[in-house]
Amino acid sequence: MGSEAPLPKWASTPCIMGIDEAGRGPVLGPMVYGCLYCARSYQKTLATLNFADSKTLKEEKREELFENLKADESIGWSVDVIDPRELSAKMLKKSVIQIVISFSFSFVYFSFLLQDFTRLIINRNKVNLNEISHDSAIGLINRVLNMGVLLTEILLEYSDQSKGITRFLILSAAQEVRIPYFLSISAAVIAIWRNLEITLKVYLDTVGDADKYRIKLSERFPSIKFVVAKKADSLYPVVSGASIVAKVTRDRALREWVLEETSENMHRSFGSGYPGDPETKAWLAHHKHSIFGFPTLVRFSWGTCTSYYKDMVEVLWYLLKHSNSICFLTLPHNYAWPFLHNVYEVLRLKKPDRRSI
Amino acid sequence: MEEEKGATGSINLSLNGKEEEINLSGQVHHLPCCIKFNGPCTVSQYFKPKLKGMQIDGLAVEEAHFRGRKLQGTTISLPNGYAGFVLAKNNSGKRKACDVSEGNSNDWEMKAKFDKLTYWNHDTPPSKDDPFLRSFHWFTVVEALHKQVKPEDLATIDADQ
């Protein structure tokens, strides 16, 4: 979706573009990335259009501004709506576990003395929310470039993502830990505990680091100057405009959402979708289903959902990809099983949730 | 609980005077997970497979979501000569007063029949290499194993040696 008129003349002069997102935090509904672009020379006029951070505007005002900018021939815009099903699916992708035992069976009982180690590799090819966001922004830039717009500068909002996303980062990233295998049960627990430690460090290094994001984008689009800044949506009118585009699109998408499920007594009072909203909470509580969890509008990968899982029927997923070399067989049977079981435990989101900051 | 030695059971695949056979073809799904529940559930209201309009190894790919996970699957016909049945314990009808209680009953009755089923993979699209499809190769082996050996067959083996 976006402005569809034939390419205006100003598009071949140097242009500036703002990108912002809406609906990153909510537990339900789509996440929307919006962009707004115009000629550099139009910036001054843009500043007079009263665009402000969409969060500070009332809904009617946002709608009004959106209609105005749609009508404005000197402004172009585009959106990327990311379906909640896609968000859940990417964040809950299948994990691969690989256990490499460097020892033969006969050494199992000596391992305590020898201090040998088993390597447990939990490879999660899950995609975290940051990656999804970055891909969406890159997709928007590509789309606008392909339309023939001469982009020279792009401003992006870099929201403070520290709190809500911690647990997803814990679940993401490839992990590799060494654990002593004589402690079948506790070793798995330790491994998992260490796992979390390791990823927590990764998290501290990367999240909140707007500069890395900027470098990533600059490498991909060398001819464009990127500005990644917090509060960009209130500092730069072009980003404010993008935030309005994104927010209005998200609100409309949620308002007009057609529930896939055909169960009776479902209603559409979603509230804002934020986990703290009482209306959203009530909606979640009313729509939970012991087998299916929730309607597919809900982002199952969100921590908020976990608290509802205890009332639901337990579902266990197979983690092991058959293509991987798993050497369970070299462990005595009674050692291997609890080991596997513990790994299951963790990947059902229980541990990470308890550990989230 | 006392257990009878050499308990016997029966499976009744006849219609038993019921009006019509229930055919569940296309409504039987094999999921790549373990759902710790047994019983009826409003599946069709929540589980909405969609054809993706794409073929892999000649299998029409379908897509659905379950508990936030993306499933990709395909509907296959059961091999020739095989049929799928939904069985339930027979607890209607005559039961002698002192006879086995409901739970112990070992008489099964056909509730529905199917000749097609849909199997699903988590994230990966269906292919000919899926263990589920490959398990059907076993039927060929079984057939060969259980085939009656005729004297002529033995004779030819002898001749070969």
Q: Domain map of chain A by residue range?
A: 9-355
Predicted confidence at residue A233, as pLDDT, reads: 82
Q: How far is A29 from chain B (nearest CA, A)?
A: 13
Give the least confident one: A202-211, B5-14, B108-117.
Answer: A202-211
Fold observed for domain B10-94+103-126: Lipocalin (2.40.128)
Q: Average pLDDT in the B49-60 region?
A: 91
A72 is in an annotated binding site: no
Most A-contacting residue of B45, B124, B127, B133 (CB-CB within 10 A), to test interface: B45
A135 is in an annotated binding site: no
Most B-contacting residue of A83, A87, A94, A258 (CB-CB within 10 A), to test interface: A94
Question: B93 at the A interface (CB within 8 A)?
Answer: no
Predicted confidence at residue A119, as pLDDT, reads: 44
Of A289, A301, A313, the CB nearest to B68: A301
For chain A, the distance separating the N- and C-terminal CA atoms, rounded to the nearest angstrom, is 37
Cα A95 from Cα A174, distance rounded (Å): 10
* DSSP tally for chain B: helices H, then strands E: 4, 9
DSSP 8-state assignment for residue A55:
G
Q: Domain map of chain B by residue range?
A: 10-94+103-126
Q: Average pLDDT in the B95-105 region?
A: 51
Q: Which residue has the higher pLDDT, B84 or B89?
A: B84
Predicted confidence at residue A197, as pLDDT, reads: 37
Predicted confidence at residue B160, as pLDDT, reads: 63
Question: Other C-beta atoms within 10 Å of A296: how many?
Answer: 24
Predicted confidence at residue A351, as pLDDT, reads: 38
Contact A85 B123 (CB under 8 A): no
> Which CATH homologous superfamily contains domain A9-355?
Ribonuclease H-like superfamily/Ribonuclease H (3.30.420.10)
Most B-contacting residue of A85, A129, A168 (CB-CB within 10 A), to test interface: A85
For chain B, the distance separating the N- and C-terminal CA atoms, rounded to the nearest angstrom, is 58
Predicted confidence at residue B91, as pLDDT, reads: 65
Predicted confidence at residue B63, as pLDDT, reads: 95
Q: Is the pLDDT of residue B97 over 50?
A: no
- The tokens describing A257, both together, are 């959402």
The parts of chain A modelled with pLDDT lower than 50 are: 98-123, 160-208, 321-357
Q: Average pLDDT in the B55-68 region?
A: 93
| DSSP states of A159-198 | ---HHHHHHHHHH-S-EEEEE-TTSHHHHHHHHHHHHHHH
Contact A292 B67 (CB under 8 A): yes
Question: A295 at the B interface (CB within 8 A)?
Answer: yes
By C-alpha distance, the chain B residue nearest A299 is: B68
Listed by number, the residues of chain B in 106-135 with a beta carbon closer than 8 Å to a beta carbon of chain A are 122-124, 131
Q: Average pLDDT in the B16-21 region?
A: 69
pLDDT band of residue B4 (cuts 50, 70, 90) is low
Predicted confidence at residue A235, as pLDDT, reads: 84
A21 is in an annotated binding site: yes
Predicted confidence at residue A145, as pLDDT, reads: 93
- CB < 8 Å to A292, chain B: 46-47, 66-67
Q: In terms of Cα–Cα distance, which of A109, A95, A262, A325 is closest to A192?
A: A95
